[in-house]
Structure 1
Amino acid sequence: MESGLGLPSAGVATLILLRHARSAANGAGTLAGRSPGVGLDETGVGQAAGLVDRLAGVPLREVVVSPLQRCRETVAGLVAQRGLSSVVEPDLAEVDYGEWTGRKISELVEEPLWKVVQQHPSAVVFPGGEGLAQVQARSVAAVRAHDRRLPADAVWLACTHGDVIKSVLADALGLHLDAFQRIVVDPCSVSVVRYTETRPFVLKVNDTGGDVSGLVPPVDAAKSGSDAVVGGSAGVSESGRG
């Protein structure tokens, strides 16, 4: 597919950003980071099981997943029920928190760096780990690359981590990374982005309910274009836009 300028189009596939269900570390108030062996707790197992019904009306083309256990467990039932195979994407892995990994959040809030994480995250480099600006660069590049290779009417899901999703959403919203802490992404929530030739549209953020109408692509996704609707969308049933 080409744009009116004769350039390759980025397409308008629909991306569902799924945060992993609640993990044992979430319940214990620790920063799991990339620690191995961190799976879902009882609440998270129930949240993951509910994904089959929550996304029942969504025609998923592909599932891309962080390599960490809690993400793989979150989508296991969904991919099995759909007969899909999950694509492991290392660039959607959790932040490398370095020396902060495995520590209690209640202890970390006393660290001088904590205030920088909250107020100026673009400047943060975790001791012995990576910077949040680096996280955003790798995660945005990864989701855009996967999105470009899929058909224009495809709906695909990426299961990853809270700070990764917040950084992708900040980019899609045109926000500086320093504003990404204003975005809330709960365990097992879905946020939805549709990329077009010139800009993304953010359709949902932190949705934990069962309404999937915004996840279904437009009737003619290839021609939906990059222009926003003046005055606001008329909704799915009237406009054909998600």
Structure 2
Amino acid sequence: MTRALLVEADGGSRGNPGPAGYGAVVKDADTGQVLAETAAYIGTATNNVAEYRGLIAGLRAAYALSPEARVRVRMDSKLVVEQMSGRWKIKHPDMRPLAMEAQQIYPAGAVRFEWMPRERNKHADRLANEAMDAGRRGEEWQPSGPPTLEPSALGERPALEEPPALTEPPVAEVARGWGPSTGTPTTLLLLRHGETPFTAEKRFSGSGGPDPELTDTGQAQAASAAGALTGAGIGAVVSSPLRRCRQTAEAVAARLGLDVRIEPGLRETDFGSWEGLTFEEIGQRHPADLRAWLSSADAAPTGGGESFAAVARRVAVARDKTLARFPGRTVLAVTHVTPVKTLVRLALGAPPSAMFRMELSPAALSEVGYYADGNATVRRFNDTAHLGLTPR
């Protein structure tokens, strides 16, 4: 039987725009059991942005529990409920990428939205305020206790008021693009690991096969990256758990005097039975599966591998955790081809097919700035100047 989950989400801004945060709780829709809580301080943002960020975090938490679930979302934001239900147009440019991100977490038709009065959304509201309080103290939000049973979650569902057909509440304008600054962004410097034996032979090397070390060339590339990043204002280093990334990250972190934080969500795609094979060999052994993989982000490699869609979901979670942990700072993220391309694609709002149009060299640097209003800017991609190379 398909599982039924209830997501209650909220977000707030003390100033609109001002210091903002979100909170979300996932419950079993049948019993009211609290299954997960999530919250984060997001820096300076509007109420609307914070509410959308709460929705996204809640849906991601639900997806982590059950990707096949039927989900009911309840929020006291009429704007978000009406826009996500398709009854109001999304006119503000800052809301569109957030709405699109929320829509892509579950398949179409799996999520429905309901409005509820603010006084019935106390759990998510409390989490959002806890996150804002933690942010004011310079801390990261932490859960206050174990999941509980909330029978009130099973109460009568509030009726959704009929909205005006072509109007929506005013949205606070947030400067973007060429306009005034929208606050200090959190910057992710994305560094692909150095060369391994599989890199040189152009073999698929993911998280489901061997865990190769850097070659001598790869170690030299890591050292060059470390030299180039000295003085870049990096405040933290995070890395995929795979050996080639840890070795690259440790070379840079040692130069900067920083520790390396392991982020499992930054690992490479699991390529299933394709691990260790070249593109030509896969085409010979699994031609139909390869064609499907090249044409759909939902197709997975042969033998239980991960689809690009699945990788994008976990990479987005890793991104959001990192942004919440290091707001307004520059963070070096040492990872792999697919996660780097995915983060760039998501920042650009590009379709999954764009992944096949990006070339990323070993030890290349890319850079994305993330603003509290939900916008992102790609500042560079496949930069190999520190290696003495010109990207092809």
TM-score range, shorter chain: 0.7 to 0.9
Displacement, 1:3? 6.2
Q: Residue 122 of structure 1 is aligned with which of 297, 311, 320? A: 297
Structure 2 counterpart of 1:113: 289
Structure 2 counterpart of 1:148: 324
Name segments (4+ residues, structure 1) moved above 4 Å.
none
Cα distance in 1 for partners of 2:15, 2:305 equals 41
Mapped contact 1:27–1:41 kept (Cα < 8 A): no
Gaps (5+ residues) in structure 2? Answer: 1-12, 22-40, 44-184, 388-392
Mapped contact 1:13–1:194 kept (Cα < 8 A): yes
* Shift in CA distance, 56/99, structure 1 to aligned 2, threshold 3 Å: same
Structure 2 counterpart of 1:15: 188
Structure 2 counterpart of 1:216: none
Q: Residue 78 of structure 1 is aligned with which of 252, 255, 271? A: 252
Q: Residue 176 of structure 1 is aligned with which of 346, 351, 366? A: 351
Q: 3-state DSSP class of the match of 2:319? A: helix
Q: 3-state DSSP class of the match of 1:107? A: helix
One-letter code aligned to 2:250: A
Structure 2 counterpart of 1:93: 267
Displacement, 1:107? 0.4
* Shift in CA distance, 27/3, structure 1 to aligned 2, threshold 3 Å: farther
Q: 3-state DSSP class of the match of 1:102? A: coil
Q: 3-state DSSP class of the match of 2:385? A: coil
What percentage of residue pairs aligned between the two structures are identical?
32
Q: Deviation digits for residues 12-35 of structure 1, max 9, x if unmatched?
A: 211001111111111122212123
Cα distance in 2 for partners of 1:43, 1:206 equals 18
* 1:31 lines up with 2:165 in the alignment: no
Gaps (5+ residues) in structure 1? Answer: 212-242
Give TM-score scaled by structure 1 length: 0.80
Structure 2 counterpart of 1:52: 226
Cα distance in 2 for partners of 1:5, 1:50 equals 41
Give TM-score scaled by structure 2 length: 0.50
Higher relative strand content: 2
Q: Residue 4 of structure 1 is aligned with which of 16, 23, 48? A: 16
What are the within-5 Å matches in structure 2 for residues 162-241 of structure 1? Answer: 162-196=337-371, 197-210=373-386
Cα distance in 1 for partners of 2:235, 2:186 equals 10
* Shift in CA distance, 2/22, structure 1 to aligned 2, threshold 3 Å: farther
Cα distance in 1 for partners of 2:264, 2:369 equals 22
* Shift in CA distance, 124/54, structure 1 to aligned 2, threshold 3 Å: same
Displacement, 1:36? 3.5
Q: 3-state DSSP class of the match of 1:204? A: strand
Cα distance in 2 for partners of 1:53, 1:5 equals 39
Displacement, 1:133? 0.1
Cα distance in 1 for partners of 2:386, 2:267 equals 26
Displacement, 1:131? 1.2
Cα distance in 1 for partners of 2:251, 2:275 equals 28
Structure 2 counterpart of 1:223: none
One-letter code aligned to 1:81: R
Structure 2 counterpart of 1:227: none
Q: CA RMSD in A?
A: 2.0
Kindly tell me the number of residue pairs found equivalent between the two proteins: 209
Displacement, 1:147? 1.1
* Shift in CA distance, 45/3, structure 1 to aligned 2, threshold 3 Å: farther
Displacement, 1:151? 3.2
Displacement, 1:115? 3.0
Displacement, 1:44? 1.1
Mapped contact 1:29–1:106 kept (Cα < 8 A): no
Cα distance in 1 for partners of 2:15, 2:268 equals 35
Q: 3-state DSSP class of the match of 1:84? A: coil
Structure 1 counterpart of 2:312: 136
One-letter code aligned to 1:190: L
Displacement, 1:198? 2.5
Q: Residue 277 of structure 2 is aligned with which of 97, 103, 125? A: 103
Cα distance in 2 for partners of 1:61, 1:78 equals 12
Q: 3-state DSSP class of the match of 1:80? A: helix
